[in-house]
């Protein structure tokens, strides 16, 4: 009797496993880039030269380390806004100057008023569904007389968002507008505790229940010690936590276009670094929005005044930016909205 009972359980267990792997296979097979040639042509507008121009600019000494609320950070926000104006990418109707003010009352003590910078491209078929691409624009300022340039943290992410936006607006101008709206959000006050993204998620400009997913970029221009012998990688954090489909979309984007090693080491809940909780995507995850955090890991210049523009690996920054663009393209153009479901 005992043996018989055990074998019944075993049978039930293996059926469940088969059903599960079938579901996964069905999900994987459902994700493909039918418009691969079109995506490739806009992917190729993302160049290491243009990324370098933005990184060199935002991490230059004239912005004094971009401390939240200080003139240097305000000026860099002006620079970001100017790029959107030049590219004819719209401001939200409610915030026609591209700025969402973050009052000092919503920031830690002693900081001045600051702002998030927001631009968007309206979706052609599902304009009320929004894909977010985010990066923080602030850094550590000046300490002990030294400017913290923050080229990787987060000049790299800032440049990536600008280049992704430019690729999408070029596609739009050529008759390939995204089906869903895409929001380009440069948040302030990340370094002091994720305050800019928290403010946005408390006072959203577009309804958060219509947010499809948030792709957050924070440090993607360098290589960490674990990858000294293979720089062709990026860490993805959070992609499978709310939506199995999101995980496989990023995987498929990578297989189709970029062939990076997608490293999930820091996605493990047991990882002591807890990066999932440490950048702006987390405030979106708290609002039940699926997220991916794109990250290169820490390196010897992390949070030091030596995080400077000449140390960025620009071809690698371009490749990683292309992966994020392709992932965003799929999220914005798929026939059905991303499913919040874990298989
Ligand atoms: Zn950062």
For residue 170, how far is its CA from the centre of ligand 1 (angstroms)? 28
For residue 64, how far is its CA from the centre of ligand 1 (angstroms)? 16
CA dihedral 248, 339, 242, 223 (to 10 degrees): 40
pLDDT tens for 298-313 read 999 999 999 999 999 9
pLDDT tens for 185-244 read 999 999 999 999 999 999 999 999 999 999 999 999 999 999 999 999 999 999 999 999
| Bridge pairing between strands 146-147 and 142-143 | antiparallel
Mean pLDDT value of segment 269-286:
96
Q: Residue 30: how many CB atoms within 10 A of its CB?
A: 12
Task: Report the DSSP beta bridge partners of residue 261.
Answer: 233
For residue 343, how far is its CA from the centre of ligand 1 (angstroms)? 31
For residue 137, how far is its CA from the centre of ligand 1 (angstroms)? 9
High-pLDDT (> 70) share of the chain, %: 96
For residue 267, how far is its CA from the centre of ligand 1 (angstroms)? 17
Q: Which residue has the higher pLDDT, 16 or 125?
A: 125
Mean pLDDT value of segment 157-184:
98
Mean pLDDT value of segment 81-92:
98
pLDDT tens for 58-76 read 999 999 999 999 999 999 9
For residue 223, how far is its CA from the centre of ligand 1 (angstroms)? 15
Q: What's the topology of domain 34-333?
A: Aminopeptidase (3.40.630)
Residues 6 or more apart in contact with residue 254 via CB below 8 angstroms: 260, 262, 323, 326
For residue 30, how far is its CA from the centre of ligand 1 (angstroms)? 34
Omega prior to 154 cis, within 30 of 0: yes
E strand or H helix at 234: strand 233-237
- Residue 12 is predicted with a pLDDT of 59
What is the domain partition of the chain in residue ranges? 1-30, 34-333
Q: Residue 94: how many CB atoms within 10 A of its CB?
A: 9
Tokens of 269: 């809940």
pLDDT bin (cut points 50, 70, 90) of residue 22 is very high
pLDDT at residue 1 is higher than 50: no
Mean pLDDT value of segment 154-174:
98
For residue 99, how far is its CA from the centre of ligand 1 (angstroms)? 20
> Residue length, the chain?
343
Q: Taking a C-beta distance cutoff of 8 angstroms, is the pair 128, 210 a contact?
A: yes
pLDDT at residue 13 is higher than 80: no
For residue 52, how far is its CA from the centre of ligand 1 (angstroms)? 18
pLDDT tens for 23-47 read 999 999 999 999 999 999 999 999 9
Residues with CB under 5 A from ligand 1 (ion): 153-154, 218
């Amino acid at each position: 009797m005992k043996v018989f009972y055990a074998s019944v359980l075993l049978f039930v267990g293996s059926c469940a496993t088969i059903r599960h792997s079938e579901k996964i296979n069905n999900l994987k097979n459902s994700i493909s880039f039918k418009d691969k040639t079109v995506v490739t042509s806009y992917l190729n507008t993302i160049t290491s030269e243009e990324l370098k121009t933005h990184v060199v600019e935002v991490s230059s000494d004239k912005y004094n380390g971009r401390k939240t609320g200080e003139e240097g950070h305000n000026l860099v926000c002006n620079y970001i806004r100017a790029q959107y104006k030049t590219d004819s990418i719209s401001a939200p109707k409610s915030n026609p100057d591209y700025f969402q003010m973050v009052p000092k009352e919503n920031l830690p003590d002693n900081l001045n008023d600051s702002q998030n910078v927001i631009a968007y491209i309206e979706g052609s078929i599902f304009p009320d569904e929004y894909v977010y691409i985010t990066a923080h624009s602030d850094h550590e300022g000046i300490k002990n007389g030294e400017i913290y340039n923050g080229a990787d943290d987060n000049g790299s992410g800032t440049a990536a968002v600008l280049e992704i936006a430019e690729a999408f607006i070029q596609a739009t101008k050529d008759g390939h507008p995204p089906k869903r709206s895409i929001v380009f959000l440069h948040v302030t006050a990340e370094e002091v505790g994720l305050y800019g993204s928290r403010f946005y998620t408390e006072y959203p400009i577009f309804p958060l229940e219509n947010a499809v997913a948030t792709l957050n970029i924070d440090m993607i221009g360098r290589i960490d010690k674990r990858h000294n012998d293979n720089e062709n990688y990026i860490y993805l954090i959070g992609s499978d936590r709310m939506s199995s489909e999101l995980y496989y979309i990023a995987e498929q984007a990578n297989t189709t276009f970029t062939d990076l090693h997608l490293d999930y080491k820091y996605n493990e809940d047991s990882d002591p670094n807890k990066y999932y909780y440490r950048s702006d995507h987390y405030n979106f995850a708290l609002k039940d929005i699926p997220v991916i955090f794109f990250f290169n890991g820490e390196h010897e210049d992390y949070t030091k005044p030596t995080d400077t523009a000449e140390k960025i690996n620009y071809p690698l920054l371009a490749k990683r930016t292309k992966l994020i663009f392709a992932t965003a393209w799929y999220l914005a153009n798929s026939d059905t909205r991303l499913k919040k479901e874990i298989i």
